[in-house]
């Protein structure tokens, strides 16, 4: 059974930093592209970024609002993906979901989701 | 970056109604369009991938169509369990993007 467990959320002051972790199990993590998606209170889903598998280059892509501030990395030895967040503002307050991506019908989808971890940016 | 729009923003319908949600991309995304359902307190769930392919286990009352920039999700006979917010999602090119969502009330 696929499991994604996020951790590291909490309260952080504006301008601060936080690192989220997502521990994966139940699938071959090293060959899976992983993504982060967030949902601010009362708002819709927002794609944050993704990291490809190392065999696909291990490259990352980010949404414009977080580019330059957020960094996604992975440790295949620990089956874990990370989201390092810097220069946080109140607009980054959200539930952050980790997803394991699949290719279905030739299209990348966020096939599996963690339960999410809440990040609150407030003084 | 590709922007996604959806309409309507919200809708209220009755059990048995036929409901259609539309999604538009700011540029052509071929058939790289997916649909997710999200209920409060739950994890988002993939319903449709590659424009019109139903994910295994999703009821056949859900269908979708489109290509290029214009897409639609249809629920042929709305059921109580279909409440929630529906998002289209482009995975044609990074950065990927979700539409703003359509809230369905029953």
Share of chain B above pLDDT 90, in %: 99
Q: Is residue A118 less than 8 Å (CB to CB) from chain B?
A: no
Indicate if the pLDDT at residue B72 is higher than 90. Answer: yes
Q: Of chain A residues 41-80, which have a CB less than 8 A from chain B? A: 44-47, 49-50, 61-64
What average pLDDT does chain B have? 97
Query: What is the reported pLDDT for B104?
Result: 97
Average pLDDT over residues B31-55: 96
Identify any residues that bridge with B63 across adjacent strands, giving them in sequence order. B74
Only one residue has tokens 């992975």, namely A74
Average pLDDT over residues B45-49: 97
For residue B106, what pLDDT band results from cuts at 50, 70 and 90?
confident
Pairing of strands B53-54, B45-49: antiparallel
Indicate if the pLDDT at residue A52 is higher than 90. Answer: yes
| Closest C-alpha to B83, from B42, B26, B33 | B42
Kindly determine whether residue B87 and residue A44, on different chains, have CB atoms separated by under 8 Å.
yes
Average pLDDT over residues A40-60: 97
Number of Cβ atoms within 10 Å of the Cβ of A117: 22
Query: What is the reported pLDDT for A78?
Result: 98
């Amino acid at each position: 059974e696929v499991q994604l467990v996020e951790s590291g959320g909490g309260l952080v002051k504006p301008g601060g930093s936080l690192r989220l972790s997502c521990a994966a199990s139940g699938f071959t993590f090293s060959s899976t592209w992983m993504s982060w998606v967030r949902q601010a209170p009362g708002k819709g889903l927002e794609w944050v970024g993704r990291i490809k598998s190392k065999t696909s280059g291990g490259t990352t892509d980010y949404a414009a609002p977080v580019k330059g501030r957020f960094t996604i990395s992975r440790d295949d030895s620990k089956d874990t993906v990370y989201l390092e967040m810097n220069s946080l503002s109140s607009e980054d307050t959200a539930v952050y979901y980790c997803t394991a991506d699949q290719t279905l019908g030739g299209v990348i989808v966020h096939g599996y989701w963690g339960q999410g971890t809440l990040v609150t940016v407030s003084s | 970056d590709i922007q996604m729009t959806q309409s309507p923003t919200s809708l209220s319908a009755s059990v048995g109604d036929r409901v259609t949600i539309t999604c538009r991309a700011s540029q052509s995304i071929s058939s790289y369009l997916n649909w997710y359902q999200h209920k409060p307190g739950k994890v988002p769930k993939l319903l449709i991938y590659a424009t019109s392919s139903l994910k295994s286990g999703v009821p056949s009352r859900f269908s979708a169509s489109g290509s290029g920039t214009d897409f639609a999700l249809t629920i042929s006979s709305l059921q109580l369990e279909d409440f929630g917010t529906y998002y289209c999602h482009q995975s044609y090119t990074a950065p990927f993007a979700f539409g703003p969502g359509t809230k369905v009330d029953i």
